């Protein structure tokens, strides 16, 4: 009789948790994130009350819930809830990953990358750096078996680490990480320019900023111009995506890298095509302010 009651209760809980998850999935697909988050948490509450053995049997279902919650809460800019979802998923991955198999190691690295990016976004650079280093370790290990598969993630991780090192005034480590990141992205951009040239341009911009902050204007100018050159090329692929990035870089050249104000006419002509858009209006305000400032200095 006791076993029957236990089995009945277990079956009821399984059905209830599945029902809550199904409802949450429906709301998520309709972008009704508040309701979706509520029902995922209801399902999660049931799973957390299961005996350890039963919980382990359901851990893939729980993992999926945590993954969905991390996306939803991040979209709602809820730092603590997003972090908690990542941490919950991380605990499950720790049980799934082992030395005998590479199963789940890629998924673990991606989760750690997202968690590091969350900390980075919220200016918790030390914590972000710790997780990016773990990400790099895993991807470099996986790359030994599949050399071409993880190059973009290694490049992105190195770029993030370089930014962290730079903010912490660890310039030698920062420059090394920037160069390594650029090496990966340059190879990828040769194979697929439309996809990876933007990443190369971003590293160029970061290197320009890096050298400018160290008063090395020769190198800063060089990498800035390389970024502008790339954005010029990228507008041939997709003007609507890269036009404003090109205009922004041109304005940076005048503002930060002592370039002639005549280039602002090119930036202004580009921006005029996007009048009414928030980013375009902000760039135009910046351009006019910069032009007036330069005119006042020459008076």
SS3 101: strand
Q: What is residue 297's predicted lDDT score, i.e. its pLDDT?
A: 59
56 within some domain: yes
**Could you report the average pLDDT of every consecutive run of 10 residues in the chain (299 residues)?**
48 88 97 97 95 90 97 96 97 90 94 97 96 98 94 98 96 97 97 94 96 94 95 90 94 89 92 93 94 70
Of 19, 118, 116, 123, which is closest to residue 76 (Cα–Cα)? 118
Give yes or no for a contact between 143 and 121, defined as CB atoms under 8 angstroms apart: no
48 within some domain: yes
162 within some domain: no
Q: What is residue 299's predicted lDDT score, i.e. its pLDDT?
A: 52
CATH number at residue 23: 1.25.40.10
183 within some domain: no
- As for how many domains the chain has, the answer is 1
241 within some domain: no
205 within some domain: no
24 within some domain: yes
Range of the domain at 7: 1-96
List C-alpha distances in Å: 148 to 78, 138, 140, 197: 35, 15, 11, 17
Enumerate the β-bridge partners of residue 98.
101
Give yes or no for a contact between 82 and 74, defined as CB atoms under 8 angstroms apart: yes
Rg from Cα positions in the chain:
25
11 within some domain: yes
Of 159, 129, 154, 160, which is closest to residue 142 (Cα–Cα)? 154
User: What is d(CA 292, CA 298) in angstroms, rounded to the nearest whole number?
Assistant: 10
Q: What is residue 258's predicted lDDT score, i.e. its pLDDT?
A: 81
Q: What is residue 4's predicted lDDT score, i.e. its pLDDT?
A: 35
């Amino acid at each position: 009789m006791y076993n029957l009651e236990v089995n009945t209760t277990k079956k009821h809980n399984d059905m209830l948790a599945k029902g809550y998850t199904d409802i949450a999935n429906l709301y998520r697909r309709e972008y009704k994130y508040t309701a979706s988050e509520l029902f995922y948490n209801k399902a999660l509450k049931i799973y957390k009350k299961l005996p350890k053995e039963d919980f382990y049997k359901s851990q893939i279902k729980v993992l999926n819930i945590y993954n969905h919650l991390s996306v939803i809460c991040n979209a709602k800019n809820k730092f603590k809830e997003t972090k908690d979802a990542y941490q919950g998923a991380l605990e499950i991955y720790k049980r799934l990953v082992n030395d005998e198999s590479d199963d789940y190691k890629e998924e673990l690295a991606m989760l750690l990358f997202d968690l590091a990016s969350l900390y980075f976004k919220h200016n918790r650079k030390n914590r972000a750096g710790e997780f990016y280093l773990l990400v790099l370790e895993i991807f470099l290990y996986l790359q030994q078996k599949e050399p071409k598969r993880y190059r973009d993630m290694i490049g992105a991780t190195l770029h993030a680490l370089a930014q962290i090192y730079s903010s912490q005034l660890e310039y030698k480590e920062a420059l090394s990480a920037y160069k390594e990141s650029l090496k990966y992205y340059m190879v990828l951009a040769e194979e697929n320019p439309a996809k990876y040239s933007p990443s190369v341009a971003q590293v160029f911009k970061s290197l320009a900023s890096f050298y400018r902050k160290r008063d090395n204007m020769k190198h800063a100018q060089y990498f800035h111009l390389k970024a502008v050159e790339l954005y010029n090329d990228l507008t041939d692929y997709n003007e609507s995506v890269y036009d404003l990035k090109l205009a922004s870089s041109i304005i940076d050249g005048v503002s930060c890298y002592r370039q002639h104000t005549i280039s602002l006419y090119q930036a202004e002509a580009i921006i005029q095509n996007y009048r009414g858009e928030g980013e375009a209006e902000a760039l135009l305000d910046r351009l006019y302010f910069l032009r007036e400032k330069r005119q006042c200095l020459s008076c």
